[in-house]
Chain A
Protein backbone atom coordinates (compact mmCIF):
# COMPACT_ATOMS: atom_id res chain seq x y z
CA UNK A 1 0.00 0.00 0.00
CA UNK A 2 1.37 3.37 -0.94
CA UNK A 3 1.25 5.89 1.87
CA UNK A 4 0.73 9.54 1.10
CA UNK A 5 3.49 11.71 2.60
CA UNK A 6 1.88 14.04 5.08
CA UNK A 7 3.42 16.41 7.61
CA UNK A 8 1.36 17.03 10.74
CA UNK A 9 1.34 20.24 12.75
CA UNK A 10 2.85 18.39 15.74
CA UNK A 11 5.80 17.21 13.59
CA UNK A 12 6.65 20.77 12.63
CA UNK A 13 6.13 22.16 16.14
CA UNK A 14 8.38 19.43 17.62
CA UNK A 15 11.14 20.13 15.13
CA UNK A 16 10.92 23.91 15.63
CA UNK A 17 10.86 23.59 19.42
CA UNK A 18 13.87 21.27 19.41
CA UNK A 19 15.82 23.57 17.09
CA UNK A 20 14.95 26.68 19.08
CA UNK A 21 15.81 24.92 22.34
CA UNK A 22 19.28 24.03 21.06
CA UNK A 23 19.92 27.58 19.82
CA UNK A 24 18.73 29.10 23.10
CA UNK A 25 20.83 26.68 25.15
CA UNK A 26 23.90 28.18 23.49
CA UNK A 27 22.66 31.75 23.87
CA UNK A 28 19.96 32.94 26.30
CA UNK A 29 19.98 29.80 28.46
CA UNK A 30 23.75 29.32 28.67
CA UNK A 31 25.11 29.29 32.24
CA UNK A 32 28.09 31.34 33.34
CA UNK A 33 31.44 30.48 31.78
CA UNK A 34 34.61 29.17 33.43
CA UNK A 35 35.82 30.70 36.67
CA UNK A 36 38.92 32.89 36.80
CA UNK A 37 41.10 29.88 37.43
CA UNK A 38 39.67 28.16 34.33
CA UNK A 39 37.68 25.58 36.26
CA UNK A 40 33.98 25.07 35.71
CA UNK A 41 31.13 25.04 38.17
CA UNK A 42 28.67 22.16 38.39
CA UNK A 43 26.12 23.92 36.21
CA UNK A 44 28.47 23.57 33.25
CA UNK A 45 28.16 19.78 33.31
CA UNK A 46 24.39 19.94 33.71
CA UNK A 47 24.25 22.33 30.78
CA UNK A 48 26.46 20.11 28.60
CA UNK A 49 24.25 17.12 29.36
CA UNK A 50 21.20 19.14 28.35
CA UNK A 51 22.92 20.28 25.15
CA UNK A 52 23.71 16.65 24.27
CA UNK A 53 20.07 15.73 24.87
CA UNK A 54 18.94 18.71 22.78
CA UNK A 55 21.01 17.43 19.81
CA UNK A 56 19.31 14.06 20.22
CA UNK A 57 15.92 15.75 20.37
CA UNK A 58 16.66 17.69 17.20
CA UNK A 59 17.76 14.54 15.38
CA UNK A 60 14.76 12.50 16.50
CA UNK A 61 12.31 15.30 15.73
CA UNK A 62 13.83 15.63 12.23
CA UNK A 63 13.38 11.91 11.61
CA UNK A 64 9.89 12.24 13.11
CA UNK A 65 9.19 15.03 10.64
CA UNK A 66 10.13 12.99 7.59
CA UNK A 67 8.92 9.59 8.81
CA UNK A 68 5.70 8.50 7.17
CA UNK A 69 4.36 5.47 8.97
CA UNK A 70 2.42 6.21 12.16
CA UNK A 71 4.03 3.17 13.83
CA UNK A 72 7.50 4.63 13.23
CA UNK A 73 6.41 8.03 14.45
CA UNK A 74 5.02 6.41 17.57
CA UNK A 75 8.37 4.80 18.35
CA UNK A 76 10.24 8.04 17.76
CA UNK A 77 7.78 9.90 19.97
CA UNK A 78 8.35 7.43 22.78
CA UNK A 79 12.09 8.13 22.52
CA UNK A 80 11.47 11.87 22.60
CA UNK A 81 9.36 11.47 25.75
CA UNK A 82 12.25 9.69 27.46
CA UNK A 83 14.77 12.34 26.44
CA UNK A 84 12.53 15.23 27.47
CA UNK A 85 11.92 13.71 30.91
CA UNK A 86 15.67 13.08 31.38
CA UNK A 87 16.33 16.69 30.37
CA UNK A 88 13.81 17.87 32.95
CA UNK A 89 15.54 15.89 35.71
CA UNK A 90 19.12 16.95 34.94
CA UNK A 91 19.18 20.44 36.55
CA UNK A 92 17.84 19.42 39.95
CA UNK A 93 17.97 15.65 40.29
CA UNK A 94 20.57 14.01 38.07
CA UNK A 95 23.46 16.50 38.09
CA UNK A 96 22.28 19.55 39.98
CA UNK A 97 23.20 23.19 39.63
CA UNK A 98 25.19 25.75 41.59
CA UNK A 99 24.84 27.00 45.12
CA UNK A 100 22.50 29.96 44.79
CA UNK A 101 19.09 30.19 43.20
CA UNK A 102 20.03 33.66 41.99
CA UNK A 103 22.87 32.34 39.85
CA UNK A 104 22.49 32.29 36.09
CA UNK A 105 22.13 28.52 35.86
CA UNK A 106 19.07 28.77 38.10
CA UNK A 107 17.56 31.96 36.69
CA UNK A 108 18.14 31.18 32.99
CA UNK A 109 19.29 27.64 32.21
CA UNK A 110 16.95 25.78 34.55
CA UNK A 111 13.91 27.85 33.54
CA UNK A 112 14.69 27.41 29.85
CA UNK A 113 15.16 23.66 30.21
CA UNK A 114 11.89 23.36 32.13
CA UNK A 115 9.87 25.46 29.69
CA UNK A 116 11.15 23.71 26.56
CA UNK A 117 11.11 20.20 28.02
CA UNK A 118 7.49 20.62 29.10
CA UNK A 119 6.48 22.16 25.75
CA UNK A 120 8.20 19.31 23.88
CA UNK A 121 6.57 16.76 26.19
CA UNK A 122 3.10 18.22 25.70
CA UNK A 123 3.56 18.33 21.92
CA UNK A 124 4.91 14.80 21.70
CA UNK A 125 2.13 13.45 23.92
CA UNK A 126 -0.42 15.11 21.64
CA UNK A 127 1.39 13.53 18.70
CA UNK A 128 1.31 10.10 20.35
CA UNK A 129 -2.41 10.50 20.95
CA UNK A 130 -2.98 11.33 17.28
CA UNK A 131 -0.66 8.54 16.09
CA UNK A 132 -2.46 5.95 18.22
CA UNK A 133 -5.76 7.01 16.67
CA UNK A 134 -4.21 6.67 13.19
CA UNK A 135 -2.67 3.28 13.93
CA UNK A 136 -6.02 2.02 15.23
CA UNK A 137 -7.75 3.42 12.15
CA UNK A 138 -5.23 1.72 9.82
CA UNK A 139 -5.73 -1.59 11.57
Chain B
Protein backbone atom coordinates (compact mmCIF):
# COMPACT_ATOMS: atom_id res chain seq x y z
CA UNK B 1 0.00 0.00 0.00
CA UNK B 2 1.37 3.38 -1.03
CA UNK B 3 1.94 6.11 1.52
CA UNK B 4 2.30 9.68 0.25
CA UNK B 5 2.73 12.70 2.47
CA UNK B 6 1.95 15.57 0.12
CA UNK B 7 3.23 18.96 1.26
CA UNK B 8 2.36 18.30 4.88
CA UNK B 9 3.29 21.05 7.33
CA UNK B 10 2.78 21.57 11.04
CA UNK B 11 3.52 24.35 13.51
CA UNK B 12 4.01 24.02 17.26
CA UNK B 13 3.16 27.14 19.20
CA UNK B 14 4.39 28.52 22.49
CA UNK B 15 1.85 29.65 25.04
CA UNK B 16 2.29 33.23 23.81
CA UNK B 17 1.15 32.06 20.34
CA UNK B 18 4.62 32.45 18.85
CA UNK B 19 5.83 29.59 16.67
CA UNK B 20 8.11 27.22 18.59
CA UNK B 21 8.90 24.85 15.74
CA UNK B 22 7.74 24.43 12.20
CA UNK B 23 7.71 21.36 10.01
CA UNK B 24 7.98 22.96 6.59
CA UNK B 25 5.76 21.69 3.79
CA UNK B 26 7.19 18.22 3.19
CA UNK B 27 6.73 15.61 0.50
CA UNK B 28 7.50 12.02 1.52
CA UNK B 29 6.94 8.88 -0.56
CA UNK B 30 8.45 5.80 1.12
CA UNK B 31 8.59 2.85 -1.22
CA UNK B 32 6.80 -0.44 -0.75
CA UNK B 33 9.05 -3.40 0.10
CA UNK B 34 11.80 -1.11 1.39
CA UNK B 35 12.97 0.01 4.79
CA UNK B 36 13.09 3.81 4.65
CA UNK B 37 14.90 5.60 7.42
CA UNK B 38 14.63 9.23 8.42
CA UNK B 39 17.62 10.35 10.41
CA UNK B 40 18.36 13.64 12.07
CA UNK B 41 19.05 15.37 15.35
CA UNK B 42 16.55 15.51 18.17
CA UNK B 43 13.98 18.22 17.48
CA UNK B 44 14.52 18.15 13.73
CA UNK B 45 10.88 17.18 13.07
CA UNK B 46 11.25 13.42 12.41
CA UNK B 47 8.64 12.30 14.93
CA UNK B 48 6.24 15.04 13.87
CA UNK B 49 6.41 13.81 10.28
CA UNK B 50 5.99 10.21 11.41
CA UNK B 51 2.95 11.08 13.58
CA UNK B 52 1.37 12.84 10.62
CA UNK B 53 2.00 9.73 8.51
CA UNK B 54 0.38 7.61 11.22
CA UNK B 55 -2.81 9.69 11.18
CA UNK B 56 -2.14 10.80 14.74
CA UNK B 57 -1.35 14.47 14.16
CA UNK B 58 -3.53 16.55 11.87
CA UNK B 59 -1.25 18.60 9.59
CA UNK B 60 -1.86 22.34 9.18
CA UNK B 61 -1.27 22.01 5.44
CA UNK B 62 -1.16 19.27 2.81
CA UNK B 63 -2.66 15.79 2.53
CA UNK B 64 -1.76 12.31 3.59
CA UNK B 65 -2.66 9.72 1.01
CA UNK B 66 -2.67 6.08 2.04
CA UNK B 67 -3.69 3.86 -0.84
CA UNK B 68 -6.56 5.77 -2.38
CA UNK B 69 -7.64 7.46 0.86
CA UNK B 70 -6.90 10.98 2.01
CA UNK B 71 -6.50 10.00 5.66
CA UNK B 72 -7.29 13.40 7.19
CA UNK B 73 -10.50 13.78 5.19
CA UNK B 74 -11.92 10.76 7.04
CA UNK B 75 -13.85 11.01 10.28
CA UNK B 76 -12.04 9.99 13.46
CA UNK B 77 -13.98 6.72 13.58
CA UNK B 78 -13.11 5.86 9.94
CA UNK B 79 -9.48 6.95 10.33
CA UNK B 80 -9.10 4.85 13.51
CA UNK B 81 -10.53 1.75 11.84
CA UNK B 82 -8.32 2.37 8.81
CA UNK B 83 -5.25 2.69 11.05
CA UNK B 84 -6.25 -0.49 12.87
CA UNK B 85 -6.49 -2.40 9.60
CA UNK B 86 -3.58 -0.99 7.59
CA UNK B 87 -0.99 0.78 9.74
CA UNK B 88 1.21 -0.72 12.45
CA UNK B 89 2.83 1.80 14.76
CA UNK B 90 5.78 1.33 17.09
CA UNK B 91 5.89 4.48 19.20
CA UNK B 92 8.75 6.04 21.12
CA UNK B 93 9.43 4.87 24.67
CA UNK B 94 7.46 2.34 26.66
CA UNK B 95 4.06 1.76 25.19
CA UNK B 96 2.41 -1.17 26.88
CA UNK B 97 -0.66 -1.43 29.09
CA UNK B 98 1.08 -2.54 32.25
CA UNK B 99 -1.90 -4.27 33.84
CA UNK B 100 -2.47 -6.53 30.82
CA UNK B 101 -0.44 -9.64 30.01
CA UNK B 102 2.08 -9.71 27.17
CA UNK B 103 -0.36 -11.69 24.99
CA UNK B 104 -3.24 -9.32 25.77
CA UNK B 105 -1.04 -6.36 24.84
CA UNK B 106 -0.02 -7.92 21.55
CA UNK B 107 -3.63 -8.76 20.68
CA UNK B 108 -4.96 -5.24 21.44
CA UNK B 109 -5.52 -4.20 17.77
CA UNK B 110 -7.20 -7.54 16.99
CA UNK B 111 -9.52 -7.57 20.00
CA UNK B 112 -10.79 -4.07 19.18
CA UNK B 113 -12.68 -4.86 16.00
CA UNK B 114 -12.12 -8.50 15.15
CA UNK B 115 -13.53 -11.71 16.57
CA UNK B 116 -10.96 -14.35 15.57
CA UNK B 117 -7.49 -14.53 17.10
CA UNK B 118 -4.67 -15.21 14.59
CA UNK B 119 -3.13 -17.90 16.78
CA UNK B 120 -0.42 -18.95 14.34
CA UNK B 121 0.81 -15.41 13.74
CA UNK B 122 0.66 -14.69 17.46
CA UNK B 123 2.80 -17.71 18.30
CA UNK B 124 5.19 -16.88 15.48
CA UNK B 125 5.65 -13.30 16.69
CA UNK B 126 6.05 -14.37 20.32
CA UNK B 127 8.62 -16.95 19.28
CA UNK B 128 10.56 -14.70 16.87
CA UNK B 129 10.70 -11.77 19.28
CA UNK B 130 11.83 -13.94 22.19
CA UNK B 131 8.71 -13.41 24.29
CA UNK B 132 7.74 -17.06 24.76
CA UNK B 133 8.54 -17.23 28.48
CA UNK B 134 6.80 -13.96 29.13
CA UNK B 135 3.53 -14.42 27.26
CA UNK B 136 1.38 -14.76 30.38
CA UNK B 137 3.29 -12.23 32.49
CA UNK B 138 1.90 -8.80 33.26
CA UNK B 139 3.59 -6.25 30.97
CA UNK B 140 4.33 -3.95 33.93
CA UNK B 141 7.11 -6.29 35.02
CA UNK B 142 8.98 -6.31 31.71
CA UNK B 143 12.29 -4.61 30.95
CA UNK B 144 12.49 -1.72 28.47
CA UNK B 145 13.71 -4.02 25.68
CA UNK B 146 10.97 -6.55 26.33
CA UNK B 147 8.35 -3.82 26.26
CA UNK B 148 9.70 -2.60 22.92
CA UNK B 149 9.45 -6.11 21.49
CA UNK B 150 5.86 -6.35 22.72
CA UNK B 151 5.15 -3.05 20.92
CA UNK B 152 6.63 -4.48 17.71
CA UNK B 153 4.56 -7.65 17.96
CA UNK B 154 1.45 -5.50 18.59
CA UNK B 155 2.23 -3.41 15.51
CA UNK B 156 2.52 -6.53 13.37
CA UNK B 157 -0.31 -8.71 14.67
CA UNK B 158 -2.92 -7.11 12.40
CA UNK B 159 -0.77 -7.80 9.28
CA UNK B 160 -0.64 -4.10 8.32
CA UNK B 161 0.73 -3.01 4.95
CA UNK B 162 2.50 0.00 6.45
CA UNK B 163 4.79 -0.05 9.50
CA UNK B 164 5.87 3.18 11.17
CA UNK B 165 8.55 2.99 13.85
CA UNK B 166 9.68 5.88 16.01
CA UNK B 167 13.14 5.30 17.50
CA UNK B 168 12.54 1.54 17.79
CA UNK B 169 16.07 0.88 19.01
CA UNK B 170 16.24 3.70 21.56
CA UNK B 171 17.51 2.55 24.99
CA UNK B 172 18.00 -1.05 23.79
CA UNK B 173 21.14 -3.12 24.28
CA UNK B 174 23.11 -4.38 21.26
CA UNK B 175 21.39 -7.78 21.09
CA UNK B 176 17.91 -6.34 21.31
CA UNK B 177 18.80 -3.64 18.77
CA UNK B 178 19.89 -6.25 16.29
CA UNK B 179 16.77 -8.32 16.91
CA UNK B 180 14.46 -5.36 16.33
CA UNK B 181 16.24 -4.04 13.23
CA UNK B 182 16.38 -7.49 11.66
CA UNK B 183 12.68 -7.91 12.27
CA UNK B 184 11.90 -4.58 10.56
CA UNK B 185 14.16 -5.43 7.62
CA UNK B 186 12.41 -8.80 7.21
CA UNK B 187 9.00 -7.13 7.27
CA UNK B 188 10.07 -4.76 4.50
CA UNK B 189 11.29 -7.82 2.63
CA UNK B 190 7.72 -9.10 2.65
CA UNK B 191 6.70 -6.18 0.44
CA UNK B 192 5.48 -3.84 3.16
CA UNK B 193 6.17 -0.14 3.49
CA UNK B 194 8.41 0.38 6.51
CA UNK B 195 9.27 3.89 7.64
CA UNK B 196 11.61 4.28 10.59
CA UNK B 197 12.71 7.40 12.39
CA UNK B 198 15.98 7.13 14.28
CA UNK B 199 19.25 8.74 15.18
CA UNK B 200 20.87 5.36 15.71
CA UNK B 201 23.89 5.18 13.35
CA UNK B 202 23.95 1.39 13.50
CA UNK B 203 20.42 1.29 12.10
CA UNK B 204 21.60 2.88 8.87
CA UNK B 205 23.18 -0.45 7.89
CA UNK B 206 19.76 -2.01 7.65
CA UNK B 207 18.08 0.77 5.66
CA UNK B 208 17.26 0.57 1.95
CA UNK B 209 16.86 4.32 1.75
CA UNK B 210 18.00 7.05 4.14
CA UNK B 211 16.47 10.50 4.30
CA UNK B 212 17.83 13.31 6.44
CA UNK B 213 15.83 15.84 8.32
CA UNK B 214 17.10 19.11 9.69
CA UNK B 215 15.25 22.12 11.10
CA UNK B 216 11.88 20.87 9.93
CA UNK B 217 13.03 20.28 6.35
CA UNK B 218 13.46 16.89 4.69
CA UNK B 219 16.70 16.93 2.75
A and B in contact, CB less than 8 Å: no
